[in-house]
Amino acid sequence: MTTSHYIAGRWVEGQGSDCISVSEPALGLPFAELMAASVAQVDQAVAAAREALPTWKQVSASTRAAFLRGFAEQLGQRREALITLQMRNNGKPRHEAEIDLDDAIATFAYYADLAEQLPSKNRDVPLAAPGFTARTRLEPVGVVGLIVPWNFPLVTSAWKLAPALAAGCTVVLKPSEVTPLIEQTYGQIADTLGLPAGVLNIVNGKAETGAALSSHNGLDKLSFTGSNNVGSQVMRSASAQCRPVTLELGGKSAIVVFDDCDPDQAVEWIVAGISWNAGQMCSATSRLLVQDGIADALLPRLQAALEKLRVGNPLTEEVDMGPLTSQAQWLKVASYFATAREEGLQCLAGGQALDREGWFVSPTLYADVPKNSRLWTEEIFGPVLCARRFSTEAQAIAEANDSRFGLVATVCSADLERAERVADALEVGHVWINSVQAVFVETSWGGTKGSGIGRELGPWGLSAYQSVKHVTRCLG
């Protein structure tokens, strides 16, 4: 693939020094290559977005909504190809790849509806003081850079791209170098729909490309999803320009199981929270807090459930969990298995990389993990679950909140009043009660503490790309 960058409405060849090798993780083999964008091409993409902004932000909300609905429809028409690519490049089981695509479609459709509901550009503001009038304008923030991760390509980019376009912004999108292919679809759809040149630009590359975009003085905002290490670099780059950022970063989330739960039902929620996408989720509920009264019944059931998960190549087998998406991630997770052995942790299930082609690891459960263990405190980004017991509700809340992260949590209890009370006490951005991690576009996404800045999805996702202006006039 040579024409792998979409700049100013044209597909162009990469002129950077990096060659990006795209792999199939179930086989551990590359299947595509593309040349990264050069720093000069990042400049060209930002310039194209800047040139397109004055016209695009004046386009009617109904016209922008029509384009967004077009994205949703075109994604649906490419359904089987996109599902297959998610399975091949990410290693996702088919049912997960299908949900990813449905999520992206729903996101574009939702922001199309929201765009049509935008208030008129001017809204009167009542003032207590006589002799003045005031009005409010909601305006697009401008040219935005969007940097998205490899664990949910297509989805995370939809969460950013749809509200940005709905607000009237123009964008430069940088996909992950691990999974760069599926985001090419957005450029193809832009061509099909006749989206004005420069409104959407896509540049692929590694760290050099990301750094060039995040530090570019032609941006008005940057939205980044990824690791805390890279997020801190992005924030430093933005601070040099005093530029607003949205950061969706890591997590080390808790799932709290009280002893009034049905243990079999609780196992279903626990397994989903750690095995979905092979645990490669910032929202993975990788810290299990289980009340004393249910622990002895729950843990053996959980061990058996993890051992029964079918792990394999989603393109050739019926599987529950696929491989890790990259060799780097496979090596990282394997290093935590070694750390667990060094720390003498009690392994009830898994705890090893699988001896087969591809980047597979076993679903893993450690019991009675000390609070000072690296596996309890650090984000692993793999199907590695650590369990601890608790006695009281207050203890559960304290231990769940004892983390530098604050993205999500799950509460499992038959006492709904208690479940709601605990949910309110947890220092996170999203809580599920007696549920798998169902994410709806109407709700918000984002966290507290070290899990990031700002919110995506819902009306909050749209407001992240809007600037508020007030105009006050003296009547005298």
Beta bridge partners of 361: 353
Write out the DSSP string of 299-330.
HHHHHHHHHH--BS-TTTS--SB---S-HHHH
Instruction: Write down the residue that tokens 């709700």 correspond to.
Output: 443
378 and 275 both lie in a single domain: yes
**Is residue 288 domain-resident?**
yes
Are 189 and 82 in contact, with CB atoms under 8 Å apart? no
326 and 387 both lie in a single domain: yes
**Is residue 186 domain-resident?**
yes
**Is residue 446 domain-resident?**
no
Spatial distance between the Cα atoms of 72 and 52, rounded to a whole number of angstroms: 22
Spatial distance between the Cα atoms of 68 and 462, rounded to a whole number of angstroms: 13
22 sits in which H/E element: strand 19-24
Show Cβ contacts of residue 290 under 8 Å, excluding neighbours closer than 6 positions.
257, 298, 299, 387, 388, 389, 390
* Secondary structure of residue 109 in the 3-state scheme: helix
pLDDT tens track for 181-210 = 999 999 999 999 999 999 999 999 999 999
Show Cβ contacts of residue 254 under 8 Å, excluding neighbours closer than 6 positions.
285, 287, 288, 289, 399, 400, 403, 409, 410, 426
87 and 206 both lie in a single domain: yes
Residue 282 is a catalytic residue: yes
Catalytic residue among 169, 261, 282, 412: 282
* Secondary structure of residue 452 in the 3-state scheme: strand
230 and 184 both lie in a single domain: yes
**Is residue 62 domain-resident?**
yes
Are 208 and 18 in contact, with CB atoms under 8 Å apart? yes
470 sits in which H/E element: strand 466-474
- Residue 3, pLDDT score: 64
Domain that holds residue 368: 254-440
Are 396 and 413 in contact, with CB atoms under 8 Å apart? no
* Backbone dihedral region for residue 388 (phi beyond 0: left; psi -120 to 50: alpha; all else: beta): beta
Spatial distance between the Cα atoms of 68 and 64, rounded to a whole number of angstroms: 6
Give the global pTM.
0.96
14 and 28 both lie in a single domain: yes
**Is residue 294 domain-resident?**
yes
Tell me which residues of the chain have a pLDDT lower than 50.
Answer: none
Q: CATH no. for residue 92?
A: 3.40.605.10
Q: How many domains does the chain have?
A: 2
242 and 262 both lie in a single domain: no
**Is residue 64 domain-resident?**
yes
Show Cβ contacts of residue 87 under 8 Å, excluding neighbours closer than 6 positions.
93, 94, 97, 314, 315, 322
- Residue 123, pLDDT score: 85
Look at the chain and count its residues.
Answer: 476
461 and 410 both lie in a single domain: no
- Residue 25, pLDDT score: 98
Quote the tokens at residue 427.
Answer: 């220092």
C-alpha torsion sign, points 245, 156, 165, 186: positive
* Backbone dihedral region for residue 405 (phi beyond 0: left; psi -120 to 50: alpha; all else: beta): beta
391 and 460 both lie in a single domain: no
Phi/psi for 210 (5° steps) reads -60, -40
**Is residue 445 domain-resident?**
no
Are 465 and 221 in contact, with CB atoms under 8 Å apart? yes
- Residue 121, pLDDT score: 67
Catalytic residue among 248, 379, 399, 456: 248
Spatial distance between the Cα atoms of 139 and 167, rounded to a whole number of angstroms: 7
Q: CATH no. for residue 408?
A: 3.40.309.10
203 and 334 both lie in a single domain: no
pLDDT tens track for 252-267 = 999 999 999 999 999 9
298 and 434 both lie in a single domain: yes
Are 427 and 401 in contact, with CB atoms under 8 Å apart? yes
245 and 266 both lie in a single domain: no
326 and 373 both lie in a single domain: yes
